Amino acid sequence: MITCFDIGGSAIKCAVATADGRVGALQRVPTPVNDFAAFTAVMKALVLDGGPSRGIAISIAGVIDPADGRIKCANIPCIDGRALASDLAAALGLPVWIINDADSFALAEAHAGAGRGHANVFGLILGTGVGGGLVINGKLIAGPGGFAGEWGHGPVAAQFAGRPPQAIPRFACGCGQVGCVDTVGGARGLERLHLALHQQPLDSHAIINNWLAGDAHASHTINCYIDLLSGPLAMLVNTLGASILPVGGGLANSAPLIARLDQAVRAAILRKTTAPIIVPGQSGTEPGLIGAAWLGLEQLGISHD
């Protein structure tokens, strides 16, 4: 068995996974964000409660540098900057493997969700911002610095969008650049875009609901949003050869929005297909735990779909 964790700033979720990739009953406890001793004590208690384990696999919101194993995780200060896998392995007495939450989602979708049967799967995150992870032939693809799949960064957002085309401001991004897709692609980006276009502060849920109700302002915002995302995603599909892009994150809850995005991307890629390629994720309510389970199985040399 493998002990799986999905760790966020508010909660640590834990379950035991068997050799077929199935996860058992979920346990959930608050995350000790400022005390590493308390953090490891909570994890140790959960591991012991789950019974004998061959290792610990963790999905976490953060970036892990594969060169030295150090994590950048601003919302859990007690682990930020640590070589977390080796520190936890020393404290818990078991091998520890860690991936970020976007990569975990991609693995979960490739093995247990919409990506089953597809050789190349790109797990697409449309949450507060945008992100992703790439799985080829069942294997997660990592990159230097742990940044593979971060398609939302780079100053490439279109400066005109909509019908008729309208000038789109180039927004400053948290990564330090200006004009990243991340600034317009997630829920906060949709809100930022709507405010810039119509001087109307609305949250993403209201914008989508208004669009579905036929509101002209919201419809214009969604048209611009689709234009801004479909071009970069079409290039991503053409470059990677991904045949399915399951979507996770809050915006994935709007099936009409995902269907509209899928239609626009399929119209812009080289490979023409009538089958949807951008679809809501299907790996269930706990993709972090499922992805962590498959990471652990891969590290132990256990592989079967």
- Per the domain annotation, does 56 fall within a domain? yes
Structural domain for 162, as ranges? 118-280
In this structure, are strands 245-248 and 278-280 parallel, antiparallel, or unpaired?
Answer: parallel
pLDDT of 72 reads 83
pLDDT of 303 reads 62
**Structural domain tally of the chain?**
2
Type of residue found at 75: N
pLDDT of 284 reads 82
pLDDT of 69 reads 81
pLDDT band at 148 (very low <50, low <70, confident <90, very high): confident
Q: What is the three-state SS of 219-266?
A: HHHHHHHHHHHHHHHHHHHHHHCCCEEEEECHHHHCHHHHHHHHHHHH
Give the up-direction half-sphere exposure of residue 134: CA atoms within 13 A in the CB hemisphere: 17
Q: Are 294 and 106 in contact (CB under 8 A)?
A: no
pLDDT of 62 reads 77
Same domain, 127 and 94: no
Task: Summarize pLDDT for 263-292 with one digit per residue, the tens.
Answer: 999 999 999 899 999 999 998 888 899 999
Q: Assign residue 21 the CATH number of its domain.
A: 3.30.420.40
**Statement: residue 155 has pLDDT above 80:** yes
Same domain, 131 and 217: yes
pLDDT band at 20 (very low <50, low <70, confident <90, very high): confident
Task: Summarize pLDDT for 42-83 with one digit per residue, the tens.
Answer: 999 999 998 888 999 999 987 787 778 888 887 899 999 999
65 burial via Cβ count (<10 Å: 0-12, 13-18, 19+): middle
Q: How far is CA 190 from the centre of its chain?
A: 17
**Statement: residue 166 has pLDDT above 70:** yes
Q: Are 59 and 292 in contact (CB under 8 A)?
A: yes
Same domain, 132 and 199: yes
pLDDT band at 298 (very low <50, low <70, confident <90, very high): confident
Task: Summarize pLDDT for 81-137 with one digit per residue, the tens.
Answer: 999 999 999 999 999 999 888 999 999 999 989 999 999 999 999 998 899 999 999
Give the up-direction half-sphere exposure of residue 284: CA atoms within 13 A in the CB hemisphere: 13
What percent of the chain shows pLDDT beyond 90?
A: 67
**Statement: residue 143 has pLDDT above 70:** no
Same domain, 65 and 199: no
- Per the domain annotation, does 142 fall within a domain? yes
pLDDT of 24 reads 83
- Tokens describing residue 39: 């953090």
pLDDT of 19 reads 80
- CA nearest 56: which of 24, 21, 15? 15
- Per the domain annotation, does 305 fall within a domain? no
**Statement: residue 304 has pLDDT above 70:** no
- CA nearest 19: which of 6, 4, 34, 40? 4
Give the up-direction half-sphere exposure of residue 241: CA atoms within 13 A in the CB hemisphere: 5
pLDDT band at 147 (very low <50, low <70, confident <90, very high): low
- Per the domain annotation, does 112 fall within a domain? no
Give the up-direction half-sphere exposure of residue 113: CA atoms within 13 A in the CB hemisphere: 31
Q: What are phi and psi of 59, to 5 degrees?
A: -105, 130
- Per the domain annotation, does 113 fall within a domain? no
**Is the preceding omega at residue 32 within 30 degrees of 0, hence cis?**
no
**Statement: residue 144 has pLDDT above 80:** no
Same domain, 17 and 61: yes
Same domain, 225 and 247: yes
